[in-house]
Structure 1
C-alpha cells in the first residue's frame, strides 16, 4: 500500500502542475453530468413515475451508481488506458519489477478531475435522501455505503476484463463500453423497469442489481421476504472482483512481449 500511495502522490503532483487546466476539467466533470440528471428530472416531470418508482427514489439510484463510477474511473483509470502499455511494449517493464502487475497498472494513472462528477453525485444523493422518508438505522447506513463500494468493485472489474482482452487484441475494444458507460447509463434506473432477461443478466452475470436495485428496495422498505438477503447483496458485487483477478492473471501468463 505504501507503493500505491506513492503512485497516488506522484500523479497528483504531476496533474497539479497545470492547476488552471485541472480545475477547469474538474468543473467540466461537475457540470456535464447535470445534463443527464436534467433528463431524469424532466422525464419524471412529464410521467410522474416509472413502474412504481418516483423521482427521488430513482435520484437515489442515480447518485449511487454515478458515485461508484466516478470513484472507479478516478482510481482504476490505469486499466482503462492499459492498451497503450501493451501496444508500446511498456508492459514488459512492469513484468520485471518485484511487485504485482495488478498494483502497478492500478497505480499507473489516476484521473483526479473525476472528483467533479463525484461531488455532483453527492449533491444529488443528499437531495434525494433529504426528500425520502427512510427510517434510518446503522444497518441501513452500512448498506448504503456498501452499495457504493460494490459499484466501485464492479466497474473496476469490468475495466480489468477490458484490459485483459488487450493481451490478445492489442488495441482496446470499444464494445466493452457497453458494460462501462452503457452499464452506468442503464444502472442509473432500477433494474425492474427493463425486460426480465436484462434484469437477470445484470444481476447474475454482471451484478449491477446488487448496487442499485436489491439493496435499494431494502432501504426504501419495498423488499419482499427475507430483508437480510437484500441487505447483503452488495457483497456479491464486491466478490465480482475475484473472477476478474483470475482472468487478469490468466492474461498475464499468456502475454507475449512485443519484442521491441
Structure 2
C-alpha cells in the first residue's frame, strides 16, 4: 500500500502541473452528470412516481451508483487504459519488477479530475438523504457505506475483465462499456422496474442489484424478510472482484511479449 500511495502522490503532482486544465476538467466532470439528473427530475415531474418509487428514493439509488462509478473511474483508471500498455509493449517492464502486476497497472493512471463527478454525486446523495424519512442507526450507516464500497468493487472488477481481454485482442473492446457505462445507467434506477431477466442477470451475474436495490429496501424499511440478509447483500460486490482477479492472473500467464 505504501507503493500504491506513492503512485498516487506522483500522478497527482504531475496533473497539478497544469492547474488551469485540471480545474476546468474537474468543473466539466461536475456538470456532466447534471444532464442525466435533470432528465431524472423532469421524468418524475411529469409522472410523479415510477412503479411505486418516489423521486428522492430513486435519487438515492442514482447517487449511490454514480458515487461508486466516480470512485472506481478515478482510482482504477489504470485498468481502463491498459490496452495502451499491452499494445506498446510497456507491460513488459511491469513483469520484471518485483511487485504485483495488478498493483502496478492500478497505479499507472489516476483520473483526479473525476473528483468533480464525485462531488456532484455526493451533493445528490445529501439532497436525497435530507428529503427521505429514514430512521438512521449504526447498521443503516454501515449499509450505506457498504453499498458505495461494493459498487466500487464491481466497476473495478469490470475494468479488470476488460483489461484482461487485451491480452488476446490487444485493443480494448467497446463491448465492455455495456457493463460499465450501461451498467451505471441501468443501476441508477431500482431493479424491479425492469423485466425479470434483466433483474436476474444484474443480481446474480453482475450484482449491481446487490449494490443499491436490495440494501436500499432495508434502509427504506421496505425489506420483505430477514433484514440482515438485505443489509449484507453488498458483500456480493467484493465476491465479484475475486474471480476477476483470478481471470487477470490467467491472462498474465498467457501474455506474449512484444519483443520490444
TM superposition score normalised by structure 1: 0.99
2:46 aligns with: 46
- Secondary structure of the 2:51 match is coil
- Deviation string 1:29-88 (CA, Å, 9 cap, x unpaired) is 001110000000000000111111000000000000000000000000000000000000
- Secondary structure of the 1:32 match is helix
Residue 6 of structure 1 and its aligned partner are, at CA, apart by 0.5
2:180 aligns with: 180
Q: For 2:259 and 2:7, how far apart are their aligned partners in 1?
A: 27
1:229 aligns with: 229
- Secondary structure of the 1:221 match is coil
Residue 259 of structure 1 and its aligned partner are, at CA, apart by 1.6
Deviating above 6 A after TM superposition, structure 1's stretches of 4 or more consecutive aligned residues are none
Q: For 1:183 and 1:42, how far apart are their aligned partners in 2?
A: 22
- Does residue 66 of the first structure (1) align with residue 98 of the second (2)? no
1:189 aligns with: 189
- Does residue 214 of the first structure (1) align with residue 214 of the second (2)? yes
- Secondary structure of the 2:211 match is helix
Q: For 1:73 and 1:114, how far apart are their aligned partners in 2?
A: 7
Q: For 2:87 and 2:251, how far apart are their aligned partners in 1?
A: 15
Over aligned residues, Cα RMSD in angstroms?
0.4
Alignment of 1:8-23 (within 5 A): 8-23=8-23
Q: For 1:45 and 1:223, how far apart are their aligned partners in 2?
A: 27
Residue 124 of structure 1 and its aligned partner are, at CA, apart by 0.5
Q: For 1:154 and 1:38, how far apart are their aligned partners in 2?
A: 26
Figure out how many residues of one structure are paired with residues of the other and give that number.
Answer: 260
Residue 238 of structure 1 and its aligned partner are, at CA, apart by 1.3
- Secondary structure of the 1:223 match is coil
Q: For 1:237 and 1:99, how far apart are their aligned partners in 2?
A: 25
TM superposition score normalised by structure 2: 0.99
Q: For 1:37 and 1:187, how far apart are their aligned partners in 2?
A: 14
Q: For 2:221 and 2:139, how far apart are their aligned partners in 1?
A: 13
Q: For 1:216 and 1:140, how far apart are their aligned partners in 2?
A: 9
> Unaligned 5+ residue runs, structure 1?
none
> Unaligned 5+ residue runs, structure 2?
none
Alignment of 1:241-252 (within 5 A): 241-252=241-252
Q: For 2:25 and 2:203, how far apart are their aligned partners in 1?
A: 34
